[in-house]
Amino acid sequence: MRRGFLCSLLVLVSFSAIQLRAQANAEIVQVIPPPSPRAVAPSPTASIEELENRGDDLRVQKAYFDALDYYRAALEKDPKNARIYNKAGIAELQMYHFKQSRKYFEHAIKLDHQFADAYNNLGVVYYKDRKYRQAIKQYDEAIQLKNTIASYYSNLGAVYYTEKDWMKAAAAYGHAVELDPDIFERTSKSGVSAQLTSPEDRARFDYLLAKLFAKQNDRDRSLEYLRRAMEDGYKGIGEVYKDPDFAALRTDARFTQLMAAKPTGIPE
């Protein structure tokens, strides 16, 4: 069994960590820091299902090296299992092994051309490698195959946001919010998907989310993100007074109270 340490491999980037989570029984990438491995070696008599399930359990425990051992043992018995290749790729990606994870995802796609999650996960690899055009291509492919997964649109929005293509970012994030209004609340604890490299980008991102939630008449979330944008000094905060997406929110007494605070960026 392969063992080793992981701490030196972790690259901590503000607001850019991706978090792995299952959505609607899907295997969708998003990466969190892994700990050291501790599990026993896979049994040569274990079934493919037992090996895969044990790998899943270890991955949940963040024992990614050990999970890979079990996925590889399963693949030795079932070398054409696209699902397990995808899971192995996720484990590699969670350890920031981009080259290895890309190979696993590409193999999964080769075995199953309709595997939407694998396309999405391959897009994450390209995104982390700053190959944004390739990332967009993979996300678009995933969306074409399965257009009901919020994470696909969120990941696509992250690429456009990183490239400062605000219109396309807003459209992609808007689809994500329509499918899952809580998607940004869950990811905020470990960082948003976009590479927010400056306070200005952080403030713009918050304002964009406030606008999206206002458009959906989700006033609580809109006000929260508007408050964050103001605290981060969004320079275009005056747009909120004339933007039609905020029309309903402007009638809310809480909006009036919030804007009365006049933090940085609000005109006199």
CB count within 10 Å of CB 34 equals: 21
200 within a domain of the structure (yes/no): no
Give pLDDT, residue 182.
Answer: 84
How many secondary structure helices (H) and strands (E) does the chain include?
Answer: 12, 2
94 within a domain of the structure (yes/no): yes
| Helix (H/G/I), strand (E/B), else coil: 180 | coil
- What's the structural domain count of the chain? 1
Q: How far apart are the first and last CA of the chain?
A: 65
**Could you give the C-alpha distances from 133 to 93, 235, 258, in angstroms and in order?**
19, 30, 39
67 within a domain of the structure (yes/no): yes
The per-residue pLDDT for range 210-264, each reduced to its tens digit, is: 998 998 899 999 999 899 888 888 888 989 999 999 999 999 999 999 998 765 5
The per-residue pLDDT for range 152-189, each reduced to its tens digit, is: 999 999 999 889 898 898 899 989 988 998 887 765 43
80 within a domain of the structure (yes/no): yes
253 within a domain of the structure (yes/no): no
204 within a domain of the structure (yes/no): no
Residue among 87, 78, 70, 67 at smallest CA distance from 27:
87
- Domain with 17, as residue range(s), is 7-157
The per-residue pLDDT for range 134-144, each reduced to its tens digit, is: 999 999 999 99
Residue 216: both structure tokens together:
């959906």
The CATH number linked to 51 is 1.25.40.10
216 within a domain of the structure (yes/no): no
84 pLDDT above the threshold of 70: yes
